[in-house]
Structure 1
Amino acid sequence: MTVYGSDAIVDLLVDLGVDIIPFAPGATFRGLHDSLVHHRTDAPEIIECLHEEISVAVAHGYAKATGKLAAAALHDIVGLQHAAMAIYNAWCDRAPVLLLGGSGPADAQLRRPWIDWIHTANVQATQIRDYTKWDDQPASLPAAMESLVRARQLALSAPCGPVYIALDSEIQEQPVPTDWAPPAANRFPVTEPLAPSADAIRRIAARLAAARAPVIAVESVDRDQGALLRLVELAELIGAPVVEVQRDYNRTELCMPTRHPLNHTGMPLSAPPDVVLALEVRDTDVIPGCAGVPVIQVSTAGLAVKAWAADLQRVQAAEMVVAAQVRPTLDALVIELKGLIDPSDTSARVARLATHSEQYRAVWAATAAGAQGITPALLADRLGVATGNAERVLANGSLHNWVHRLWSIDHVGAYLGSSGGAGLGYGLGASIGAALAHRGSGRLVVDIQSDGDALMTPGALWTAARHRVPLLIVMENNRMWGNSFVHAQKMARARGRSNPRPEVGTVIDDPAVDFAGLARAQGVSATWTVAEAAGLDGALAAAVDHVLSRRAPALVDVVTTAD
């Protein structure tokens, strides 16, 4: 039986641990498409999508939910352009995504008239090179196989990120020589974690042990539950509040259990700090209450620098800068500090911090309970009750951080965080990716979906229905581009406009979008549109039951008001 280049590529993808390949079909990877369908029964599963931005978002969400390398296939040039926004999100979010781009023949004599010419580029990755970790356009099958092995290594090595390989259609479609020997993927491991030096650990530990009011600020623990637990241990040992710094509209990931008494995110600090330990914080100047305070910065951000996008943000003033990952840093710090600190010396400080946080949590609960109309606070509260008995995974959204104020979340896998790049169109696709990862787990995957973001990629609803993903979509339908509405208000106020009209160009109304109808048209169960608080509990309970009992998607359209 003849074996083709794309067959060999599929064999290697299996060895590299790739489970799924979302894509919208394109002729430049028709060889790969055929091999995925026909070459072997355990080939990566094709996830059918209606737009390349959705394909990459699905892979992005799957990578975060599993911690594994995720792949997506992209038609050349035009498909890559469609995917660009989602690729940028994955770059800013440091997600390990393997992008497989088809390409027309590099040999011009082999190109079909017109279409192969307008869909062949030199170099194709130029479109996305500024926000991918690495790219390649191999000219032979052996080179393509080496590229795939290297791509996995780079995508999964800290700091993680998307990588792109353009696979020439001729490489895919040519027969493989009979003496072909594929590379052994297990001979090319991912790099070991980046650990700080022993001297750096001693200096950091001494500084924290001597501090009167230390603060720990964190944006990422690399989605590592062990790192989260070590962070809890460190905070309790030194008696420090932990502040999760928000990167865009939602928190990057879960770094500290939401109900832990030392999680002081969203509340003022109880005492002026004298030192800040910043863990993967991109901009230490925005740490609340810490302006001018000496900072010890531990981060891998400087190892993923690109000149085009300013996602590295401003130059950070610091007392120390350590290029290391969070987990090995915390492991070493806790051991070192146990030799310097007696927990009884910090127990009174821990108690004071716990009392401080308890007061604010009581205020938050009262705010949600006393809400007039379906505010984000009320919706977070009622959704928390409706899903509280399930093993839930919040794949997207946070209702303006009300979820973190009101829900108990203590595992990194239970909250998958923001898009990274704050690019619209992320939520539905990424949530589908997370739900695909949990199809056999019995978990309830939840997408708190903003209306404007959903309208960027509405075809993702079809993918959810097509693959029967266990996903609860709760539409936060405020019928506006909320962030832009606030900016319009600020500009009108700042300029003293006598007749301010912030709603012009920012409201998604007249006509209002029928999201339940939009979902039903694509096969998603959606019989619930809720505009009054009295109907909220029943609709959420019914939708949760549908997802859990049928392991299929459901959408609840909730018309919300401002806090």
Structure 2
Amino acid sequence: MRGAEALVGSLVEAGVDVCFMNPGTSEMHFVQALDSVPEMRGVLTLFEGVATGAADAHARITGRAAAVLLHLGPGLGNGLANLHNARRARTPVLLVVGAHATDHVRHDAPLQSDITALAQTVSGWVHTSGDVRDVADDAMRALAATTEHGGQVATLVLPADVSWSEGGALAPALPATPPVPPVPSRVTAAAAAVREPGAVILLGGPALGVAAMDAAGRIAAATGARLLVETFPRRWDTGAGRPRVDKLAYFAEEAIAQLEKASSLVLAGARSPVSFFGYPGVPGDLVPEGCPVVGLADPASDVTATLEALAAEVAPDAVAEPAPRHAPEPPPGPLDVRSMCAAVAATLPDDAIVVDESLTAAGVLAPALQTAAPHTQLALTGGAIGQGPPTAVGAAIAAPDRPVVAVQADGSALYTLQALWTQAREQLDVTTVIINNSAYAILRVELARTGAGEAAHSGRAGRMLTLADPTPDFVALATGYGVPARRVETTEDLLEALRWARSEPGPHLVEAIVPALG
């Protein structure tokens, strides 16, 4: 058995049966193994950042590691941005990077690079497989490593000769690292904190599933503690019937205002909040001065069990207050960000997966979805834009029975629009709503906030913040990738287009023309 076949077969036996890939010459024996191990589903992407973003989303939805295959150091480099997002989300991703044959490295061929150094920037575990007899065991060690520390990227570098050599054998899976159980002293400390008026519980990471959210809702109902969700949650089960919880604001000044009266800040699966960027005269640490921070459970903990233990302590008979289902259609008229978000909420199917890379529209979209149909949200956890289209691919493959709705800013969509081709090839149930304001609107806002100057719409600075001249035609781009698309400018047309997209199988794109916010 060749090394690649042993590796792929062992992954399938361990429950990893999807691999997102953009392979090259060094990975051809891995690709060939897809014929000898047909249980492994290979998903081809046109860009490495699509493969890595899709794997991140697949793992977020399934709760188990997803596999990626990339070509040498340059291929890994192309996938780094969405691997950064996976690292920040603590997503279990098994990354296989092909390398030159061992004896060929000495020639310093044009594509030779330091793969290990690149991988270490986003991986918690990196290893180069040196012998075909060890490759399957190495893969199982990598897979086990993805569950350490609450989830991480584990990279296995696979030299071409190890892949093509005979002598490999299947290897048994290693036990996954279990989450840390509730720590009684932390539960006791958090119980004392939430019983005091003004306590805030910041929920993040694994604290945003249905059971954990219900426990948090019961704690809030019994104690009056205020719940907040981290700004960009990796996976959040929300909507009607679940506790209504506001997000921590993206802009530092707004987040400071949300937290300024907190008597204590209890962290459940979230890290202590800091601003995304440093601004003149604005503190980077968002915790109010004198506010104690109580670590209830970190992302490596069994956060659900810990929140349930806290609920048993302070809210044994309480019932979480569910959000009502109220998402009316917006009135007819010219489209803007508010009516666009309302239309998405009004037409959202039950149990959908919402991919949120709406950026400047996020502050409007989040409250609109709080009372929409119950659903799961995936957000831009690491802040590296271009995650949305790949995330829709991974989510749709992970949950083929659940519709995916991707609300996507226009500028960041262009980073990884190649994902539409994979959506079309795999016939995925994805509706992408492009928010087209023909600008990097968030940067227009940031130009003023950083003290660099007023928001510019003209001149040399303004030219760096606009997507006009020429304006990308997303309908033409989507059609070119094989995805049916429509452009809309009114709320009534958007509502009709969203229903059209849901009425047909396969992916669709709706380009919503809205005025810029900045």
Q: 1:502 to 1:20 in 2, by over 3 A?
A: same
Pair 1:332-2:309 in alignment: yes
Aligned to 1:560: 514
Structure 2: gaps (5+ residues)? 276-284
For 1:196-228, what per-residue CA distance to the aligned partner results, in whole angstroms no more than 9, with x for missing partners?
43233223323433x133221222235543222
Q: Which residue of 1 aligns with 2:499?
A: 541
Change (3 A) 1:222 1:99: farther
SS at match of 1:72: strand
Structure 1 pair 561–16 and aligned structure 2 pair: CA distance change class (3 A): same
Superposed counterparts of 1:134-153, under 5 Å: 134-153=125-144
- 1:284 aligns to what SS in structure 2? coil
Map of 1:176 onto structure 2 = 167
| SS in structure 1 at match of 2:80 | helix
Residue 46 of structure 1 is aligned with which of 31, 42, 51?
42
Instruction: Decide which of 441, 445, 461 is 1:482's aligned counterpart.
Output: 441
CA distance in 1, matches of 2:225, 2:352: 29
Give the corresponding residue for 2:236.
254
1:90 & 1:220 partners in 2: Cα distance? 12
Asked if 1 retains the 8 angstrom alpha-carbon contact of 2:193 and 2:266, the reply is: no
- Mean Cα displacement is larger for which, 68-77 or 139-148? 139-148
Instruction: Give the C-alpha shift of residue 136 in structure 1.
Output: 0.4
State whether residues 24 and 48 of structure 1, in contact with CA within 8 Å, keep that contact through their aligned partners in structure 2. yes
Q: TM-score, normalised by structure 1?
A: 0.80
Percent of residue pairs bearing the same amino acid type: 23
Paired residue secondary structure (2:149): coil
Q: 514, 517, 520: which one pairs with 2:473?
A: 514
Shift of 1:503: 2.6
Q: How far has the Cα of 1:493 moved from its partner?
A: 7.1
Change (3 A) 1:222 1:141: farther
Aligned length: 499
Structure 1 residues 473-482 or 199-208, which shifts more?
199-208
Residue 275 (1) aligns with residue 235 (2): no
How has the CA–CA distance of structure 1 residues 377 and 495 changed in structure 2, closer, same or farther, with 3 Å as cutoff? closer
Amino acid at match of 2:228: V
Cα distance in 1 between the residues matched to 2:272 and 2:180:
21
Task: Give the 3-state SS of the residue equivalent to 1:296 in structure 2.
Answer: strand
Cα pair distance change 1:12/1:277, threshold 3 Å: same
How does 1:442-521 map onto structure 2 within 5 Å? 443-490=402-449, 494=453, 503-521=462-480
The one of 80, 83, 90 aligned to 1:94: 90
Q: CA deviation at 1:154?
A: 1.7
- What is the Cα deviation at residue 155 of structure 1? 0.8
Deviation at 1:533, TM superposition (A): 3.2
| Code of the aligned partner of 1:451 | D
- Contact 1:53-1:86 at 8 Å conserved across structures: yes
Please say if residues 425 and 456 of structure 1, whose CA atoms lie closer than 8 Å, have aligned partners that are also in contact: yes
Evaluate the alpha carbon distance shift between residue 260 and residue 13 of structure 1 in structure 2; reply closer, same or farther with a 3 A threshold.
closer
Q: TM-score, normalised by structure 2?
A: 0.86
Superposed CA offset, 1:48-72 (max 9, x none)? 1111111111111111121121011
Which residue in the other structure is 1:28 paired with?
A: 26
Is 1:284 the equivalent of 2:273? yes
Q: How many angstroms does 1:290 deviate by?
A: 5.0
Aligned letter for 2:204? E
Name which of structure 1's ranges 396-405 and 374-383 shifts more when overlaid on structure 2: 396-405
Q: State yes or no: 1:14 paired with 2:6.
A: no
C-alpha separation between the residues in 2 aligned to 1:477 and 1:503? 17
Structure ID, larger Rg? 1
Q: Tell me the alpha carbon deviations over residues 185-206 of structure 1, each in whole angstroms, 9 at most, x when there is no partner.
A: 1xx2112211243233223323
Aligned partner of 1:320 in structure 2 is: none
8 Å Cα contact 2:98-2:157 kept in structure 1: yes
Letter in 2 for 1:8: A
Instruction: Give the CA deviation at 1:140.
Output: 0.9
CA RMSD across the alignment: 3.4
- 1:245 correspondence with 2:234: no
Distance 1:269 1:491 in 2: 21
Task: State whether residues 2 and 164 of structure 2, in contact with CA within 8 Å, keep that contact through their aligned partners in structure 1.
Answer: yes
Give the residue type in structure 2 aligned to 1:218. L
Distance in 2 between the 1:133 and 1:269 partners?
A: 34
Provide the secondary structure at the position in 1 that maps to 2:109.
Answer: helix
Secondary structure at 1:414 match in 2: strand
State whether residues 393 and 446 of structure 1, in contact with CA within 8 Å, keep that contact through their aligned partners in structure 2. Answer: yes
In the alignment, the residues of structure 2 paired with residue 223 and residue 333 of structure 1 have an alpha-carbon distance, to the nearest angstrom, of 15
Q: Give the conservation status (yes or no) of the 8 Å contact 2:357–2:387.
A: no
Is 1:226 the counterpart of 2:215? The answer is no
Instruction: Tell me if the contact between 1:258 and 1:404 (Cα under 8 Å) persists in the aligned partners.
Output: no
- Decide whether the 8 Å contact of 1:24 with 1:50 is kept in 2: yes
Larger mean CA deviation between 69-78 and 144-153 belongs to 144-153
Alignment of 1:526-537 (within 5 A): 526=485, 528-537=486-495
Q: Look up the equivalent residue of 2:490 and give its one-letter code.
A: E
**1:269 offset after TM fit, Å?**
6.3
Cα separation, 2, equivalents of 1:58 and 1:222: 22
2:100 maps to which of 101, 104, 118: 104
Whether 1:133 aligns to 2:145 is no
Residue number in structure 1 paired with 2:281: none
- The 1:217–1:372 alpha-carbon spacing in structure 2 relative to 1, beyond 3 Å, is farther
Rounded to whole Å, the distance in 1 between the matches of 2:268 and 2:372 is 18
Q: 1:58 to 1:174 in 2, by over 3 A?
A: same
CA distance in 2, matches of 1:155, 1:516: 39
Relative to structure 1, the CA distance from residue 491 to residue 408 in structure 2 (aligned partners, 3 Å threshold; closer, same or farther) is closer
CA distance in 1, matches of 2:132, 2:455: 64
Cα offsets for 1:250-278 (capped at 9, x unmatched): 44432665775663446976994322212
CA contact (8 A) 2:484 2:507 kept: yes
Closer/same/farther in 2, CA of residues 371 and 417 from structure 1, 3 Å limit:
farther
Q: How far, CA to CA, are the matches of 1:492 and 1:371 in structure 2?
A: 39
Displacement of 1:392 in angstroms is 1.6
- Verify: 1:190 aligned to 2:190, yes or no: no
Counterpart AA for 2:38: T
Match of 2:365 among 392, 403, 406: 403
- Is the alpha carbon distance of 1:261 and 1:4 closer, same or farther for their aligned partners in structure 2, counting shifts above 3 Å? closer
Unaligned residue ranges in structure 1 (runs of 5+): 302-322
Deviation at 1:22, TM superposition (A): 1.4
Mapping of 1:297-446 within 5 angstroms? 297-300=295-298, 324-338=301-315, 373-388=334-349, 390-398=350-358, 399-408=361-370, 414-418=376-380, 420-439=381-400, 441=401, 443-446=402-405
1:201 maps to which residue?
Answer: 187
Query: Aligned partners of 1:497 and 1:510: how far apart in 2?
Result: 16
